[in-house]
Structure 1
Amino acid sequence: MSEFFGNPHALLVLVLAGFLPNEIWRMAGLWFGAGVDEGSEVLVWVRAVATAILAGVIAQILVQPPGALAGVPDWLRYGAVATGFAVFMLTRRSIFAGVVSGEIILLAGKWWLG
């Protein structure tokens, strides 16, 4: 199992440099935004921008896959996106469910192919 997680020092650096600084801002956003109306124009715009960024990242991964994803066959990447989109539509437009299901298909397919 240690091969899967890698070097413990690298994980510690990842948590300290990547996770904790982001969590501080997320918690501050939750605290400051507790009384903001969910239907306000500003939050609708923020949600639209976040969705557009996610769509851009997915398009980038499909067209020009970075790093290890370049070794994943095109049909598997496109199949994972199609599955994610289908789950997104079936779960009343849950972005979380769509992204997670696409990742599961991608990981399972790559594991199956070896």
Structure 2
Amino acid sequence: MSGFIGDWQALVVLVLAGFLPNEIWRMLGLWLGGGIDEGSELLIWVRAVATAILAGVIAQILVLPPGALAGVPWPLRIGSVAIGLLVFLMTRRSILIGVVAGEAVLIAGQWWLG
């Protein structure tokens, strides 16, 4: 089993240092935000900020790709973002579906190119 999972100490550190500190804040936000109206000005602003941050991260990764993504050809990166945007607009602005579609195009294109 340890061959499949790898070094179990690294998994423990990942859970303790990466997952739990973030999960505490997520649960606190869920508890505190449970009574907020979804159409309120506050949540509209939060949604707009989250979308802007996501767009900024995508733009940065597109222009200055990190790691293995630097080996992906520029037209494939642009094409995957364009398809993700098109799917986003076609699915009544579903960020999740748009991002998944863009990732699928990127992965399939890189696999096809070999």
Please state which band the TM-score falls in when normalised by the shorter chain.
0.7 to 0.9
What is the rounded CA distance, in whole Å, between the counterparts of 1:101 and 1:68 in structure 2?
20
Q: Which residue of 1 aligns with 2:109?
A: 109
| Cα RMSD after superposing both structures | 2.2
Match of 1:24 in 2: 24
Match of 1:70 in 2: 70
Structure 1 unpaired stretches of 5+: none
Worse-matched range after superposition: 56-65 or 99-108: 99-108
Alignment of 1:1-114 (within 5 A): 7-9=6-8, 10-114=10-114
Deviation at 1:77, TM superposition (A): 0.6
Rg larger for: 2
CA distance in 2, matches of 1:58, 1:113: 22
Amino acid of the structure 2 residue aligned with 1:59? A
Q: Secondary structure at the match of 1:37?
A: coil
Q: In the TM superposition, what is the alpha-carbon distance from 1:16 to its structure 2 partner? A: 3.1
Alignment coverage as a number of residue pairs: 112
3-state DSSP class of the match of 1:65? coil
Calculate the TM-score normalised by the size of structure 1.
Answer: 0.85
TM-score by length of 2: 0.85
Q: Residue type matched to 2:60 in 1?
A: Q
Deviates more, 1:60-69 or 1:103-112: 103-112
